[in-house]
Structure 1
Amino acid sequence: MRIENWWPLLDSSTQQWLINNNGDVVPLSVLDQIMAVAGQPTADASWVGDNVREGFFLSDEAIDWIEKTANDEVSEGE
């Protein structure tokens, strides 16, 4: 599932956390909420970035999309 599809299903506090902390390690509580609506992250999901020792990161594509969304730059086609 693409970020455009699961984003509206998140509660507003989770969306705000992702906007305020865009590019940071995603805490398990936030990742759990994403997985509740988007399913398990798979390597081919466009929103999945690195899962390293420090934690889980969203992909560069997802980070850019969140930034555009925060700035009201996302068009209907994206």
Structure 2
Amino acid sequence: MDLEQWWTRVMPVTREWLAAHNGEALTPEVVADISRAGGLVASDAWWLGQRGPDGVFLSDAAMDWIEEQANGKDQAGQDT
């Protein structure tokens, strides 16, 4: 499932965490909520970035998209 799809299905606290901690490794709780909402964290989706000993990260493109959402912009850069 794509980021735009699971974004509306995760809990508001998860969306808030993602916006506030953009660029940080995802917490186990955030990973669980994304998975519950249909985002396959074990996939090779465009929105997934590096994985390593520090955890799972979102891609740069996903972080940009989340920042736009947090700033009240849609994907075309228009105010929402």
TM-score by length of 2: 0.85
Gaps of 5+ in 1: none
The reply on whether 1:65 has 2:68 as its aligned counterpart is no
Comparing both structures, which one devotes a greater share of its residues to helix?
A: 1
- Corresponding residue of 2:51: 51
- Corresponding residue of 2:21: 21
TM-score by length of 1: 0.87
Question: Offset at 1:75?
Answer: 3.7
SS of the residue aligned with 1:38? coil
Moved more, 8-17 or 32-41: 32-41
Question: Offset at 1:74?
Answer: 1.5
Alignment identity in percent? 36
Work out the CA distance in 2 between the residues paired with 1:26 and 1:75. 23
Work out the CA distance in 2 between the residues paired with 1:39 and 1:63. 15
Work out the CA distance in 2 between the residues paired with 1:7 and 1:39. 9
Gaps of 5+ in 2: none
RMSD: 1.3
Of the two structures, which has the highest relative contact order with CA contacts closer than 8 Å and spacing of 6 or more?
1
